[in-house]
Chain A
């Protein structure tokens, strides 16, 4: 069984400030890790994913995330946010070993960028 916890349901931040969105997971098997973004009335779009190798992963729109196995975390960061980054962000995991390809999502973090 897997679960994903996104510790903050909402994160308000001013434009050009840095931001970190937190994600912790629990799993009995090895996992792949993903961050998706959902803009209003749109589907989810992949920001980045960790499969293997370097624990620091760079994604689109200037976002990056770091996999920390010991803390079972995969926090998302951006050094300077824009108004256009206002959206819902979802952390997700999938099984590495069992072949079950479905994603298990967290409940999401709403990033609100203020001018």
Chain B
């Protein structure tokens, strides 16, 4: 079974430029997550999708960040314009999506996209 695929793996851009990251989750996984991982820190959730619907985007800086998950499969995260402080690793994860409450789902992570903003 293929894992979570992310591209590109590395991206270097100048500040104020736009950038986009792509994620393809594991086949059959209904839930998709985007996390931000700063250097020396644990990942922090940006947005969670259940199929096509963004159900938890409270931590997404909506003035410059946007995301979409058309057709409930792959997803794109965009930053426009990028700032120096956006330099980090952007992780995508997916899970099957269990019924009922709770977070017992195992999340499977992609290798991440390392963004450097100059």
Contacts and interface: CB of A to CB of B under 8 A. Distances in A.
Contacts of B110: 43
Given A32-B104, A94-B102, A102 B42 contact: no
Nearest to A103: B107
B24 interface: no
A9 B40 CA distance: 9
B91 A101 contact: no
Contacts of A92: 42
B81 to A, nearest CB: 27
Contacts of B103: 32, 94-96, 99-103
B69 to A, nearest CB: 15
Give chain A's interface secondary structure class. loop
A4 B42 contact: yes
A36 to B, nearest CB: 8
A95 B100 CA distance: 12
A46 interface: yes
B101 interface: yes
Given A46-B106, A102-B56, A108-B41, 4 more contacts: A96-B102, A99-B101, A103-B103, A108-B40
Interface of A: 4, 9, 32, 36, 41-46, 49, 51, 90, 92, 94-103, 105-108
Interface of B: 3-4, 31, 33, 40-45, 48, 56, 91, 93, 95, 100-112
Closest 10 CB pairs of A and B: A94-B103, A105-B42, A43-B109, A102-B45, A101-B103, A99-B101, A44-B109, A43-B111, A96-B102, A43-B110
22 contacts: A9-B40, A43-B91, A43-B109, A44-B91, A46-B107, A49-B106, A90-B43, A94-B102, A94-B104, A95-B101, A95-B102, A98-B101, A98-B102, A100-B103, A101-B102, A102-B33, A102-B103, A105-B42, A105-B43, A105-B44, A107-B42, A108-B40
